[in-house]
C-alpha cells in the first residue's frame, strides 16, 4: 500500500488530503485523467509520475513547464524517493508516508480523486508547449452523466466486488456468475479438433447432408490427475449469406463432446436452390466465444440424372481445424449473435432453377426458415444468456436486408449523417454522434433485442458474435426508458473471431512496430510496454519486421501508426516503414504452419493495432482500415486483438494505450481494462473514446493468476 499526503496553500489556510493506492504507477497533473489531480495553471496536464519498482519508489518529471522539485532540488532525471521526502509540484507539496507492497483508486476526504479547484484551469492559462505534444492532451470532460460507474466495482476490494457482481448479474444463477467475475478458474479444459464435410458438387433441388463432428482431448496435466469424464458442448450456428443453398430443417445445434477421442456428430440437411458457387459459414462457439469459423464453398449445377449418378464419391470438401483449449470460466455472460441469410427461393417461370413449393419447406428449429422468410434476405439476431454449457435465448428477431449487410453498412458509414459528425461545431457534435449510434441500432438490432440489451445490468460481460469485423459496435446505442447508452460504455464488451481465445497471456517478449520519425509520439507507449517487458524490441524497418512475422514465441505485438498508415484501402490500411510497407497479407494464417507441423508464430499472442494521426482527424468516423488486419491476425491464431475501427489523434491513442496496459498489468480482465481506457480518454463530442474494439475472451487476463 502506498500512502501519499498532498498539501496545498490556500488563501484561507492550508488544505491536506491523503490518498491510498495499490497500483504500481501514479500520475500527477492538472488533467482529470491523472491519479492525483492538481487543477492549477502552474501544474502541467501531465506533470510527474511516481512508480514502484524493485529498486524503490521512483519520481519522474514528464517534461512539465514549471518543473518538479524533490527536497528543493529540481528533478532532471528519474530519482528515488524515500519516506519523508517532499515533492513540490506548483503550489503543492507531496509527501510519501509509506510504500509497503505494490501500489486502487485514490480516495480523499470527499471520496473523489483531486483537490478543490484553486483556479479555473484551461489551455489559455498555460504556456503553449509545442514540443510536448506527446505528453500533453486536451483536458477530458467527465462527470456524473458520463461516468461508467460499474467500473468502480473493479476498484473495490475483492469481497465487495464479488458480492456486487453477483447481485447485478442478469443470469438466473447469480451466485455462480459472481464467482466468475471474481476471476475463479476451473482448470478443466479440452482441445477440440473439428471437421466438416459435404459433397463438392450439388444439383439444383438435390438434398445433401453437411456433417460436422469433433474430437476432444484433455490436456496432459489433467489426464494424469485422473479426470477422465470431462464433457463439454460446442454450439454450431449456420449462415447461408448468398442464398444459393437453403437449410429447410435447422440453422443451429449443439455438439455434446466427451473427452477421450469419442466423436460427436451433427448432420444438417441442405438443398441446392440456385446455380453457381455457394458459400456456407459454420460458426462454432464454446461458452459463447466463437472459436472457429469454417467456410465451405460447394458448386451447384443443373445436371441430368445420368450426370448426377456419375458424381465422384471423393468430391468432398473437408476442413479440419484444431480449437485451442478454452477455460470454461472465461466465457462471456451474454452473447449477441448475428447471422445473415439470403433469399432462399427464386422465381422459375422462365426456365430457371425449379425447387419444391413453399408448402414443402419445413420450418427450422429456430423458426428462421418459414414460408414468409423464404422470400427475403434478412439478419437474424439472438440475445443469449450463458449457463454452464448451454445458452438461453432471451430475445430474438430479424432485420430485413435489401442488400448484403456489409454493403448496407458501408453505404451508411459514407452517408451525410455520419460525415456531419466531423463538420458540426463541438457543442453539437455529441448529439450528432448519438444520432449515428441510434441509427446503427435501428439498422442492426430488432426492437425486442434493443429493449433486452437496455434491461441488462450495466457492466455485464457481453460478446458480439458477428462475421463483420469492422462494424462500430461500441458506437451503437441502446435504451431503457428515457435513458440511452453506448454499448461501449454500458457493458464490458468484446467481439468474437476465429483466434486462439486463450484465457491468459504471457508478458514477454513484446514487439513495438512504429513508422519512422514518430519517436516522440510513441514515448508513452514505449514506457507502458516496458513495464510488461524490459526487453522491449522496437521495430521501424520492414526488413526487421518480416522475420518476426514467422518467428513463434512473441507474446505481444503493438503496431501503432501516428500518421504512418496509408488508409487508401478502407479495409486493409498499410503501414509505411523504412525500406518498405507492412500490410495484412504478410501475416500468414495458422493453418499454413500447422500443415507442416510448425507452431504458428502468433499462437496465443496479444495484438494491439492503433491507427492514429498527429492531429485530430477531420473525418472522425472514417474507416481506419484495420478490419483486414484483425481478420488476418485472428486467422493466424492470435489470442486477442485490440484495434481501432476509425482513426483518432496520436495523443488520445497514446493515452488509451498507457491506461489499458496499466489496468491490464494490474490483473484487470481484458474487457475491463479496455473500458477503463475508454473512460480515460472520453470527452464530450469526441468519438475517439469509442474507436477501440476488443476481439477475444472478455475475462482473459495477463500473466499467471
Q: How far is CA 654 from CA 137, 353, 526, 535, 661, in A?
A: 10, 57, 10, 20, 11
Per-residue pLDDT band at 426 (split at 50, 70, 90)? confident
* Residue 122: pLDDT over 60: no
User: Which has the minimum average pLDDT: 440-444, 479-483, 548-552?
Assistant: 479-483
Per-residue pLDDT band at 165 (split at 50, 70, 90)? very low
- Average pLDDT, rounded, for the chain: 76
User: Which has the minimum average pLDDT: 108-122, 278-292, 680-694?
Assistant: 108-122
| Beta strands 231-239 and 280-286, pairing class | antiparallel
C-alpha span between 377 and 400 (Å, rounded): 6
> What confidence tens digit (pLDDT) does each residue in 3-23 have?
888 888 755 557 788 888 777
> What confidence tens digit (pLDDT) does each residue in 665-703 have?
888 899 999 999 998 898 878 899 999 999 988 888 887
More confident residue, 446 or 319: 446
> What confidence tens digit (pLDDT) does each residue in 311-355 have?
555 566 777 777 766 665 677 889 999 888 877 433 333 333 333
Per-residue pLDDT band at 172 (split at 50, 70, 90)? very low
> What confidence tens digit (pLDDT) does each residue in 358-397 have?
333 333 333 334 444 445 788 899 998 887 666 788 899 9
C-alpha span between 489 and 444 (Å, rounded): 18
More confident residue, 155 or 282: 282
Q: Name the nearest CA neighbour of 676 among 654, 692, 659.
A: 659
Per-residue pLDDT band at 587 (split at 50, 70, 90)? very high
* Residue 96: pLDDT over 80: yes
Per-residue pLDDT band at 607 (split at 50, 70, 90)? very high
pLDDT at 388: 62
More confident residue, 411 or 189: 411
Q: How far is CA 91 from CA 96, 144, 405, 662, in A?
A: 17, 28, 57, 28
C-alpha span between 673 and 664 (Å, rounded): 5
Beta-bridge partner residues of 4: 19, 96
In a 3-state reduction of DSSP, which class is residue 490?
A: helix
Q: Do the beta carbons of residue 157 and residue 20 sit within 8 Å?
A: no
C-alpha span between 491 and 168 (Å, rounded): 12
pLDDT at 645: 92
pLDDT at 557: 93
* Residue 126: pLDDT over 50: no
Q: Do the beta carbons of residue 338 and residue 240 sit within 8 Å?
A: no
pLDDT at 513: 92
pLDDT at 10: 59
Q: Do the beta carbons of residue 642 and residue 694 sit within 8 Å?
A: yes
In the chain, % of residues over pLDDT 70:
75
More confident residue, 659 or 182: 659
pLDDT at 473: 94
pLDDT at 188: 52
pLDDT at 219: 59
Per-residue pLDDT band at 487 (split at 50, 70, 90)? very high
C-alpha span between 662 and 31 (Å, rounded): 18
> What confidence tens digit (pLDDT) does each residue in 199-229 have?
888 888 888 889 888 877 765 555 555 444 5
pLDDT at 582: 94
CA angle, 248 then 254 then 260, to 5°: 135
pLDDT at 200: 85
- The helix (run of H) or strand (run of E) holding residue 49 is strand 48-53
pLDDT at 13: 58
User: Which has the minimum average pLDDT: 137-141, 447-451, 508-512, 638-642?
Assistant: 137-141
pLDDT at 368: 39
* Residue 411: pLDDT over 50: yes
Q: Is 563 left (phi over 0), alpha (psi -120 to 50) or beta?
A: left
> What confidence tens digit (pLDDT) does each residue in 534-547 have?
778 889 899 999 99
Mean pLDDT calculated for residue range 278-301? 84
pLDDT at 133: 40
Per-residue pLDDT band at 565 (split at 50, 70, 90)? very high
Largest CA distance in the chain: 101
Q: Do the beta carbons of residue 222 and residue 284 sit within 8 Å?
A: no
Instruction: Give residue for cell 475463479.
Output: 184
Q: How far is CA 250 from CA 65, 210, 253, 271, 361, in A?
A: 66, 12, 8, 12, 11
Q: Do the beta carbons of residue 127 and residue 18 sit within 8 Å?
A: no
* Residue 577: pLDDT over 90: yes
pLDDT at 230: 60
Amino acid at each position: 500500500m502506498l500512502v501519499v499526503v498532498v498539501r496545498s496553500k490556500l488563501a484561507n489556510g492550508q488544505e491536506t488530503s491523503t490518498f491510498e493506492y495499490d497500483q504500481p504507477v501514479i500520475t500527477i497533473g492538472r488533467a482529470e485523467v491523472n491519479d492525483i489531480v492538481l487543477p492549477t495553471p502552474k501544474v502541467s496536464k501531465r506533470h510527474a509520475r511516481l512508480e514502484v519498482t524493485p529498486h524503490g519508489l521512483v519520481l519522474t518529471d514528464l517534461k512539465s513547464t514549471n518543473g518538479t522539485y524533490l527536497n528543493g532540488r529540481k528533478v532532471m532525471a528519474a530519482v528515488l524517493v524515500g519516506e519523508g521526502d517532499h515533492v513540490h509540484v506548483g503550489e503543492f507539496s507531496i509527501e510519501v508516508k509509506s510504500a509497503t507492497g505494490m501500489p486502487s483508486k485514490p480516495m480523499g476526504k470527499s471520496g473523489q480523486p483531486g483537490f478543490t479547484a484553486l483556479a479555473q484551469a484551461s489551455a489559455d492559462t498555460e504556456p503553449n508547449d509545442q514540443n510536448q505534444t506527446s505528453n500533453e492532451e486536451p483536458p477530458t470532460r467527465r462527470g456524473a452523466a458520463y461516468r461508467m460507474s460499474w467500473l468502480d466495482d473493479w476498484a473495490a476490494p475483492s469481497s465487495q466486488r464479488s458480492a456486487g457482481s453477483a447481485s447485478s448479474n442478469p443470469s438466473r444463477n447469480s451466485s455462480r456468475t459472481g464467482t466468475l467475475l471474481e476471476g475463479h478458474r476451473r482448470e478443466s479444459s479440452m482441445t477440440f479438433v473439428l471437421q466438416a464435410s459435404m459433397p463438392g458438387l450439388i444439383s439444383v433441388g438435390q438434398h445433401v447432408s453437411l456433417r460436422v463432428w469433433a474430437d476432444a482431448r484433455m490436456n496432459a496435466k489433467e489426464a494424469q490427475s485422473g479426470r477422465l469424464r470431462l464433457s463439454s458442448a460446442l454450439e454450431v450456428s449456420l449462415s447461408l449469406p448468398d442464398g444459393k443453398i437453403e437449410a429447410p430443417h435447422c440453422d443451429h445445434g449443439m455438439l455434446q463432446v466427451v473427452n477421450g477421442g469419442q466423436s460427436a456428430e451433427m448432420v444438417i440437411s441442405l438443398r441446392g436452390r440456385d446455380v453457381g458457387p455457394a458459400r456456407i459459414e459454420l460458426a462454432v462457439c464454446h461458452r459463447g466465444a466463437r472459436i472457429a469459423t469454417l467456410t465451405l464453398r460447394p458448386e451447384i449445377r443443373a445436371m441430368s440424372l445420368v450426370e448426377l449418378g456419375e458424381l465422384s464419391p471423393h468430391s468432398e470438401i473437408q476442413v479440419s481445424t484444431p480449437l485451442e483449449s478454452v477455460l470454461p470460466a472465461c466465457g462471456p455472460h451474454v452473447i449477441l449473435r448475428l447471422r445473415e441469410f439470403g433469399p432462399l427461393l427464386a422465381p422459375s417461370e422462365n426456365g430457371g432453377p425449379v425447387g419444391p413449393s413453399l408448402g414443402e419447406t419445413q420450418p427450422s428449429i429456430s423458426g428462421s426458415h418459414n414460408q414468409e422468410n423464404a422470400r427475403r434476405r434478412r439478419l437474424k439476431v439472438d440475445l443469449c444468456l450463458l449457463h454452464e454449457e448451454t445458452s438461453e435465448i432471451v430475445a430474438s428477431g430479424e432485420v430485413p436486408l435489401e442488400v448484403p449487410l456489409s454493403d448496407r453498412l458501408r453505404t451508411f458509414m459514407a452517408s451525410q449523417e455520419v460525415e456531419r459528425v466531423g463538420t458540426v461545431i463541438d457543442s453539437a457534435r455529441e448529439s450528432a454522434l448519438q444520432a449515428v449510434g441510434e441509427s446503427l441500432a435501428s439498422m442492426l438490432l430488432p426492437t425486442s433485442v434493443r429493449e433486452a440489451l437496455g434491461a441488462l445490468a450495466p457492466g455485464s460481460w457481453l460478446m458480439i458474435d458477428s462475421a463483420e469485423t469492422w462494424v462500430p459496435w461500441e458506437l451503437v446505442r441502446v435504451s431503457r426508458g428515457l435513458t440511452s447508452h453506448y454499448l461501449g460504455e454500458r457493458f464490458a464488451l468484446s467481439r468474437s473471431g476465429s483466434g486462439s481465445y486463450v484465457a491468459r497471456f504471457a508478458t514477454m517478449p513484446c514487439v513495438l512496430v512504429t513508422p519512422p520519425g514518430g519517436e516522440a509520439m510513441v514515448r508513452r507507449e514505449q514506457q507502458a510496454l516496458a513495464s510488461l517487458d524490459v526487453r522491449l524490441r522496437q521495430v521501424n524497418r520492414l526488413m526487421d519486421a518480416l522475420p518476426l512475422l514467422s518467428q513463434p514465441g512473441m507474446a505481444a505485438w503493438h503496431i501503432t501508426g501516428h500518421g504512418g498508415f496509408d488508409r487508401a484501402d478502407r479495409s486493409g490500411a498499410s503501414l509505411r516503414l523504412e525500406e518498405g510497407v507492412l500490410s495484412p497479407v504478410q501475416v500468414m494464417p495458422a493453418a499454413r504452419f500447422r500443415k507442416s507441423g510448425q507452431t504458428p508464430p502468433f499462437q496465443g499472442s496479444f495484438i494491439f493495432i492503433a491507427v492514429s494521426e498527429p492531429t485530430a482527424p477531420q473525418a472522425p468516423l472514417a474507416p481506419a482500415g484495420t478490419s483486414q488486419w484483425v481478420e488476418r491476425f485472428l486467422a493466424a491464431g492470435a489470442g486477442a486483438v485490440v484495434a481501432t475501427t476509425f482513426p483518432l489523434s496520436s495523443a488520445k491513442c497514446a493515452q488509451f494505450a498507457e491506461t489499458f496496459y496499466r489496468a491490464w498489468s494490474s490483473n484487470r480482465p481484458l474487457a475491463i481494462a479496455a473500458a477503463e481506457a475508454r473512460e480515460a480518454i472520453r470527452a464530450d463530442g469526441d468519438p475517439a473514446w469509442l474507436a477501440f474494439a476488443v476481439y477475444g475472451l472478455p475475462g482473459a487476463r495477463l500473466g499467471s493468476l
